[in-house]
Chains A and B, each alone.
Chain A
Amino acid sequence: MSTFDALGLRNRRAIPLASVPVEPVSRFRDTVAQAVRDGWRLVALFGSPDTGDQTLVLAVLAQDERGQLGAVSMLVEERYPALTPDCPEAHRFEREIAEQCGVVPEGHPWLKPLRRHPPDHGRAGVVPAPIDRECYPFFQFKGEEVHEVAVGPVHAGIIEPGHFRFQAHGEEVLFLEIMLGYQHRGVERLLETRSWPDAVLVAESIAGDTVIGHASAACGAIEALARSRKTPRAQTVRGIALELERLANHIGDLGAIAGDIAYQPAASYFGRLRGECLNLLMTLSGNRYGRGLIRPGGTLFDIPPAMAVEMRSRLESLAAELEPVGHLMLKNASVQARLEGVGVVPRQICLDLGLVGVASRACEVPRDVRHDHPYGLFRFAHIPVATAWAGDVLARTLVRWLEVQRSLEFVIDQVGALPRGAVQVECGALRPNEFVVSLEEGWRGEIAHAVISDGTGGVRRHKVVDPSFHNWSALAAAMPGNQISDFPLCNKSFNLSYAGHDL
């Protein structure tokens, strides 16, 4: 029996790396696959160069109903039996391990480049890349009436780069393959080589629309390794900022969805109201996306009483202006008809692929880190989890609208109830050779930062999992059977991050 679940590992609670069980390569796969069958979920699976010629492969698992985390590891030389055939959630993670560490997951059914870069976490010595970054064979349908459509990396709007390859029969999409990696900047290596607190500037730039989410997750990990305890006031300011970020992005997405179905009034109004949320973040942090706010040990900026009053009144007018716009759009029969039944993700696919965030909650899978693995402010103040059941574009739209209303209420309450005290404490030095998992419910879903400290107070491995990493598979799964012309709408309903995936 494996003891992966008896480590006392919880969100932002560091444990000695040595306490993570190291299983034989032959048993590791069964342990993880069995755990997933028993209701655990794969949060992260990654490699880190170990002493000698070996690579430490570490799986992080979550039991959402009990708020529990588990970890299990193995030491791999050059190859190991792939988990993906038993556990589809591991699919992208194993391609990532092959690419980053030069280790081959044998029997992986889809071993292609993920981000197209040379190994940057390889074991000592020269690591041959097991996959050729220049060679990406697309899956193809054959047949006289089948045709192929290639889109990207440069798209028709102001959008990040990515490549979409459709196999289509007339207008109907048979298959969609998504090739990413164009935004790859080497983020994990930068987080590992730059020293803290300067590395927070990299964390703020993992995904420019999730500055607060990623900076909080990264700082949460560093603070846990340093045993730094934030003040209640700092936790409240962080919680307010996180929800403002969610509001800005959800409202922006509602407007973008309206824009994609040519419902111009809601597109214009939501577009402007998104800006109001960004301007609130600017009032607080000096930057529209909240850069400069989250730092190890707390926040750099406080909310003085006068600002709290001002924020509250601006939030109340925002709420008053939002409600009629939401109703205008979502009560409109032609809007509902256009969104319903498009881009359906069946609930079972959601579970198999390990989807997170809005995409999972729209399939009635109520995953929400704020609720399942509460931390900071969310241990004391709760936001009800919003779900829908159809798994289509309409469900993802409705989940966003519900979350907008609930986050808005929450923020209005919290700015009126700021605890006393400072917002920043000294963070201190990292404990050596420890391991921590820091989860944060960003607006797209679960952000995971898994950090291993080295023997000298530095960072040995900093693994970043953006929610998009899980959810890009959902977009590919949602498209078959839909028309190519519905792709922009489906894409928008997920609104995934290329930068967050590509790192």
Chain B
Amino acid sequence: MLDFLRTRWAQGTRTSPFPEGETGFPERFRGRPLLDATRCDDRCRECRDRTPSAALVVGAGGRASLDLGACLFSPEEASRCRLGAVSYSTDHRLAGRERQDLVTQTGELPAVQALESRTRKLFGRSLRLRSVAAGSCNGCEAELVALGNVVFDMARFGVQFVASPRHADGLVLTGAVSRNMREAVYRVYEAIPEPRLVIAVGACAINGGPFRDSPEVDNGVPADLPVDLWIPGCPPHPLAVLDGLLRLLGQLEEKRGS
């Protein structure tokens, strides 16, 4: 008993001050990528068809853009830009409400809009999610599990993962959706009572990730599932997931852009 109390005392309180205070990422952390338009030459299109990641896309008018949904956050995606236009910031905030929001010409993203008033009233202070891994590597899942530990402690914001889709308000999908999981993804979605949210977490769920175009995967979330929140990363840092969720729920509204 004394050992127990002594250990408890020594361990102290370790919950992250998030969303207050500094996040303290190390210098090498690869967060939201940036594109320096002044360095990018429209005629240089070397990045255009690069495999496996097509993080850089050429959009309307021939201008290069970053697609955060396709980004694997590898050092090479920045270092291979001959003109040095691509770099990583240490900003963990990456989420977007629309797929198109993740495509940016500078690296800046539009603020994540909170749910409309009815669903926000329902879910804003209590959200139950069902996680489905479908053709993943278990990296994103490991970070979702980490959200439950004492550091990130997602439950303090009223968000929890539950065992049954029948008890859930939304689906968190990870993985590129393998052929052997396709049916299970639909069945879980259909088992969640309406109104329901769909949250795509990680490069695989958004775009197929490193497995893109393998004949055994569908390149991510099926087109007929309406996605409410996209969270890029390979895997996304737990704070990237938490930040996206809290903005969706309107819990971080007053701090937007800070």
Contact = CB atoms under 8 A, between A and B. Distances in A.
Nearest to A310: B26
A211 B74 CA distance: 13
Interface string A322-357: 001101100000000000000000000000000000
Interface string A182-216: 11111101100010011001101111110100000
A247 to B, nearest CB: 15
Contacts of A169: none
B256 interface: no
A216 B234 CA distance: 19
A116 interface: yes
Contacts of A208: 136-142, 235
B179 A117 contact: yes
Q: Find the residue from A206, A209, A269, A292 having the highest chain B CB count within 10 A.
A: A292
Nearest to A280: B26
Contact of A269 (B7, B52, B53): B7
B29 interface: yes
Given A190-B214, A275-B151, A292-B75, A328 B3 contact: yes
Nearest to B175: A183
A161 B184 contact: yes
Q: How large is the interface on A (under 10, 10 to 19, 20 to 34, 35 or more residues)?
A: 35 or more
Contact of B139 (A201, A282, A283, A289): A289
Contacts of A160: 133, 136, 138, 141
B180 interface: yes
Given A157-B161, A186-B211, A286-B28, A321 B10 contact: yes
B188 interface: yes
B72 A185 contact: no
A292 B74 contact: yes
A113 B220 CA distance: 25
B215 interface: yes
B144 A289 contact: no
B8 interface: yes
B196 interface: no
B132 interface: yes
Interface in A460-503: 497-499, 502
Given A160-B133, A207-B138, A186 B216 contact: yes
A158 interface: yes
B7 A206 contact: no
B217 interface: yes
Interface residues of B, number: 63
Nearest to A155: B163
A166 B213 CA distance: 36
- The DSSP consensus for interface residues of chain A is loop
A189 B217 CA distance: 13
B216 to A, nearest CB: 4
B60 interface: no
A268 B7 CA distance: 12
A207 B214 contact: no
Q: Find the residue from A181, A190, A279 having the highest chain B CB count within 10 A.
A: A190
Interface string B129-170: 001111111111111111001110000000001011100000
A206 B161 CA distance: 25
Nearest to A285: B28
Contacts of B141: 158-160, 208
B26 A158 contact: no
Contacts of B72: 201
Contact of B135 (A184, A324, A497): A184
Contact of B26 (A204, A205, A286, A498): A286
A157 B136 contact: no
Contacts of A324: 3, 6-7, 10
A130 B190 CA distance: 34
A146 interface: no
A186 B180 CA distance: 12
Contacts of A190: 210-211, 214
B14 interface: yes
B188 A209 contact: no
B33 interface: no
A271 B151 CA distance: 9
A194 B136 contact: no
Given A154-B188, A201-B74, A269-B7, A184 B216 contact: yes
A499 B141 CA distance: 11
B51 interface: yes
A268 B149 contact: yes
B26 A198 contact: no
27 contacts: A117-B179, A120-B215, A153-B181, A156-B163, A156-B164, A157-B145, A158-B131, A158-B141, A158-B144, A161-B134, A183-B133, A183-B135, A184-B178, A185-B217, A197-B76, A201-B210, A202-B211, A207-B138, A208-B141, A265-B4, A268-B149, A272-B14, A274-B149, A286-B30, A287-B73, A288-B237, A301-B28
